[in-house]
Structure 1
Amino acid sequence: MTSPTTTAAHRILIINCYPRASRENFDRSDVGHPHDLFRAFLAKEAPQATTELVYIADPDFALPAGTTIDDFDAFIWTGSDLTVYLTDDPRVAPQIDFARTLLDAGKLCWGSCWGIQLASLVTGGEVAANPRGRGWGIDRGISLTEAAATAAMHQGKPASFDAFTMHLDEVTRLPDGTSLLATNTHSPVQAAIIGTFWATQYHPEYTLHEMGRLIAARAPALVREGFFPDEAAVAHYAARMKELAADPDSSELRAELGVGDDVIDPQIREVELRNWLRFLDSQAG
């Protein structure tokens, strides 16, 4: 068993960015909630940290009673199925405002998928629908840029890797002065540190099991968009992903799904999140 990344008693606010209807659909569809994926990571890598949870897309969003942003050491933003450039959407506008507040105050944030789109939009970048269509399951051939060699996010990460993904939109232009840290052919903007907001388009917090659950729930869309011939094929693929999660040493399943250690081994998959915790420790010190 490896040692945790930090034993500091950080107080972290997890911001679930999905609207209530989507969260209820997660429950009906047997999909894990993204805040629970981050909680599982923190329980392992930051066992002394405490977390609180808010649902920012809900109309009654507020910080936990009696708190301000200064009561938290860091903030984690989950993914979302909303569209960030629809800024008049009442489920989106508060997220833009709160992200701007945190960035203006210099608060350390992490955000997967939705996070890189949100942080980019707030600071002057651009986001649009990906003309290549949905990124789903595993994003292939993500490469680190030269800038990543001197950035804290990817220290210890392979120069090229695959990672979990599920998204329709992408960052088309990073904010001025922001270095691109990772890229691939499907979504050229894959990772960046935007002010104090560490963000990836891919999901280092996901696991094979959880991505299998999500893919199974997305079956109608994946068939409609032409990735599978029918929902039975989606179910089979998702089931095989869950089987590999249960038996990660299976060479047969690894070959069938095209999955290697960069996706299976948390010591590789979660590098960015562990580096974020190390940076949090350095800021607290």
Structure 2
Amino acid sequence: MARKTARFLVLDGYPMEHRGPLAENGGTLAGDLYAQMLKECEPGCEVDIIFPADADCRLPTGAGLEAYHGICWTGSSLTIHDEADPRVTRQIDFAKAAYEAKTPMFGSCWAAQMAVTAAGGKCAKNPKGREFGLARKISLNDAGRAHPMYEGKKAVFDGFTSHEDEVAELPEGAVLLAGNDFSHVQAVDVTHKGGSFWAVQYHPEYDFNEVASLCRWRREALTKQGNFASLDDADQFIDRMQALHESPGTSYLRWQLGVDDDVLETRVKQQEVRNWLTVKIHPRLND
């Protein structure tokens, strides 16, 4: 019997008012970026993208939710611990329903915070500020080294990142897999009400163009937050990021930015996604 075609639902967590500025600064919409990654890792798959922060977004329930083999969450510019924001709370409610539906979930950044919050954990603003550009020396703990999400991955690696909130308290059923000096929780596996959510605080879907675009959009705020000494400093960072994206073999840029195949080789940076597909999705396609 032929294997089924994988169907994925991607939730683009950005509100409408922030999707425009991202695109205007050369960035790819988060949902499109995730869809591209899924189609590269699982050729022939079908991907539907929705925008749950929008008031008119119809979130699937019941049979509509069961029609998908997996759910993926992108990053977001929202604050997950803002309990008064309906753009946030309706996404949390959907994640709770997805747990109960037992549809496997995976995602980046906002996703790690969503995985934890929907299962009863807590998130908060990181007192160290915003981790931006590259998350350095993400280290697998013992659970991470033994976890199937990190099969074939180095024990210490860098990843693309942009976040100022972080997981503050893990819920019951969560397993911490990785962290670094900036954020204690860089990867987590949450099992809740029979559902599964593998999530990372960094962005395997990003490349240097996406980071440069984010920086163009937020250069003033990033400078005020202390990520850059001045706007000129931010512009120089953007230029180097963009140049390395266009010429990834440029040795002096790799040296200046301190990067290697962890973030330059697509297969290396997206190993976690392929492992999720192998462990959580492919068995469902053979049912």
Partners of 2:227 and 2:44 in 1: CA distance: 42
Matches within 5 A, 1:254-273: 254-273=254-273
When residues 67 and 104 of structure 1 are mapped into structure 2, their CA distance, relative to the original with a 3 A threshold, is closer
Aligned to 1:115: 111
Q: Note closer, same or farther for the CA distance 1:153–1:189 as it changes in structure 2 (3 Å cut).
A: same
In the alignment, the residues of structure 2 paired with residue 66 and residue 269 of structure 1 have an alpha-carbon distance, to the nearest angstrom, of 34
Q: Distance in 1 between matches of 2:236 and 2:144?
A: 37
Given that residues 69 and 284 in structure 2 are in contact (C-alpha distance below 8 angstroms), is that contact kept between their aligned partners in structure 1? no
The corresponding residue for 1:159 is 155
Q: Which runs of 5 or more structure 1 residues have no equivalent in the other structure? A: 1-6
1:84-95 matches, within 5 Å, as: 84-95=80-91
Identity %: 38
Report if aligned partners of 2:130, 2:227 keep a CA contact under 8 Å in 1.
no
Aligned to 1:68, which of 61, 64, 67?
Answer: 64
Separation in 2 of the partners of 1:10 and 1:154? 22
Task: Tell me which residue corresponds to 2:214.
Answer: 214
Aligned residues: 279
Partner of 1:275: 275
1:121-160 pair list within 5 angstroms: 121-160=117-156
What TM-score, normalized by structure 1, do the two folds share?
0.93
Letter in 1 for 2:145: A
Structure 2 equivalent of residue 26 of structure 1: 22
Q: CA deviation at 1:38?
A: 1.2
What one-letter code is carried by the residue in structure 1 that aligns with 2:264?
I
**Which of 5, 13, 21 in structure 2 is aligned with 1:9?**
5
Query: What whole-Å deviation, never above 9, does each CA across 1:29-82 have from its counterpart, x for those lacking one?
Result: 332211121122122221210111111001111147996101111111111111
The 2-side partners of 1:150 and 1:251 are apart by 34
From the superposition, tell whether residues 30 and 245 of structure 1 become closer, same or farther in structure 2 (CA, over 3 Å).
closer
C-alpha contact 2:52 2:59 (8 A) present in aligned 1 = no
- Give the aligned partner of residue 193 of structure 1: 189
Aligned ranges 1:94-113 → 2 under 5 Å: 94-113=90-109
State TM-score, norm by structure 2: 0.93
Q: CA deviation at 1:159?
A: 0.5
Q: Which residue of 1 aligns with 2:248?
A: 248
Higher mean displacement: 231-240 or 200-209: 231-240
Superposed CA offset, 1:218-240 (max 9, x none):
20111101222222221221111
Q: CA deviation at 1:149?
A: 2.5
AA aligned to 1:130 is N
Deviation at 1:177, TM superposition (A): 3.3
CA offset digits 1:134-174 (Å, max 9, x no partner): 01000001100100122111111100000000001000111
Report Cα offsets for 1:83-104 as digits up to 9, x if no partner.
1111221111110100000011
Q: How far apart, CA to CA, are the structure 1 residues paired with 2:249 and 2:284?
A: 38
SS of alignment partner, residue 189 of structure 2: strand
**Equivalent residue, structure 2, for 1:78:** 74
> What CA deviation, in whole Å up to 9, does each residue of 1:193-251 have, x standing for no partner?
11211100001111112112112222011110122222222122111111111221211
